[in-house]
Amino acid sequence: MSDTAGPGPSAEGPFAVLLGVQDLDTAIAQHEHRKAALPERKELEELARRVAALRREAAQLTEQRDALATRLSHLEEQSDAVVARRRTLEERLYAARGAPGRDLQAIETEVAQLAGRLDQLETDELAVLEEQEPVEAELARHESELAEMADRSAELSAAVQKIDAEIDRELVELAERRRSEAHRLPEALARRYEDLRSRLGGTGAARLVGDRCDGCHLTLPAMEVDRIRHLPPDAVVTCDQCGRILIRASLLGGT
């Protein structure tokens, strides 16, 4: 399809400028995509996810270690109490050598019971220590990995900041050139282009390359191509497949 724009532009006029604006918009979009898709940024994001997961695991291991430490502390307190009680009874037993046999037997019985209790407590303490060992080792491994990830994260952050700064400088230059070129477009053509660009993924104008639209990459019917070739140079031509403004090679000094 085609429309006719107001006064006829020169061969190197509005349509050549429009194509230049489109090329600048494409370059800006490519720079923005490059910035968003930096391998260093992707790695940094993946690293952040791994760090978060590792920290959750480390927090669970820390809770497990602390719970075991609390159990061990309680067992040690009980052991200390048993040892103190046994010492008291042994001192009483030593001092009561002339006491009735029944009293001495009661003390000896309790001392024996305390010895058994102490053996059990020591066994329980050893079991807790055995549980602690792999937890401590795993926690140390997590902490080591987190330290390595922190170093890598710092390297990646510095690299991303450097590349972002370079891309941003290029974007500023492209945006300034784009503003300058866009000011040269007739208002109606610029408005139409911006509307198409917003609806068609950032591409509002495309070259007509032979019989193919370089925007949607579809081939136009032969009769439509022939009709377009015979239109006046000021006719605004659009692709009947995607609706983009087609820039004919003849308006760019081509054949």
Domains 2-28+186-252 and 38-180 share a fold: yes
Helices 187-199 and 14-36 cross at an angle (nearest 10°) of 30
Between the two ends of the chain, the Cα-to-Cα distance in Å is 21
On the 0-12 / 13-18 / 19+ scale of CB atoms within 10 A, 204 is buried
Quote the pLDDT of residue 91: 85
Quote the pLDDT of residue 100: 65
Quote the pLDDT of residue 11: 40
Segments in the chain below pLDDT 50: 1-11, 254-255
* Per-residue pLDDT tens over the stretch 156-176: 999 999 999 999 999 999 999
CA gap 132, 124 in Å, rounded = 12
Q: In what order do the strands lie in the sheet with 235-238?
A: 2-4, 235-238, 245-248, 205-209, 212-213
> CATH code for 2-28+186-252?
1.10.287.1490
DSSP bridge pairs for 169 = none
Domain edges within the chain: 2-28+186-252, 38-180
Quote the pLDDT of residue 107: 83
Predicted TM-score (pTM) of the model is 0.69
> CATH code for 38-180?
1.10.287.1700
